[in-house]
Amino acid sequence: MLNKSILAAWLVALTATIGSLFFSERMGFIPCTLCWYQRILMYPLVFLLGVAFYRNDKKIYVYALPLSIIGICVSSYHYALQKIPSLQEFSACTSGVPCSGQYINWFGFVTIPFLALLAFVMITVFMLGLWKKK
């Protein structure tokens, strides 16, 4: 059961990474500053969780939780910048693509930072479950 949690978390991280690369490389969406921070937190999770699954490392949560929890914070802030206009004056993006920009807006609420937030939350839940079972 523990190995399934690691595998599920790895699949989420891999899907998020492939998705972000698809949006930037195939669709031509230029990442903003906060998008880069989210990538910096997500991309290593693919490697860490993959190795942990291969080695059946039940203590991967020690390394994965800090990245995923910080990712939740960054993604939440980024999503709030997109959806709450009054926060845009406090944006971390000072040059280049604005962090408040929305390349996609499916169903009126699903944006790229929302997808990243969802992935970070799922990884966090899997890692907390792993920690609790230990």
pTM: 0.92
- In degrees, rounded to 5, the angle at the alpha carbon of residue 10 between the alpha carbons of residues 36 and 50 is 100
Which H helix or E strand runs over 51?
A: helix 33-55
Q: What's the pLDDT at 92? A: 66
At the second CATH level, the architecture of 2-133 is Up-down Bundle (1.20)
Q: What are the sequence ranges of the domains in the chain?
A: 2-133
Q: What's the pLDDT at 1? A: 53
Q: What's the pLDDT at 104? A: 86
Q: What's the pLDDT at 40? A: 97
**Residues in a beta bridge with 83:** none
Give Cα separations from 103 to 40, 77, 81, 87, 134 (angstroms). 20, 17, 14, 19, 41
Output the tens digit of pLDDT for each of the chain's 134 residues.
568 999 999 999 999 999 999 999 999 999 999 999 999 999 999 999 999 999 999 999 999 999 999 999 999 999 999 998 888 776 767 677 888 888 988 998 899 999 999 999 999 999 999 998 86
Q: What's the pLDDT at 93? A: 72
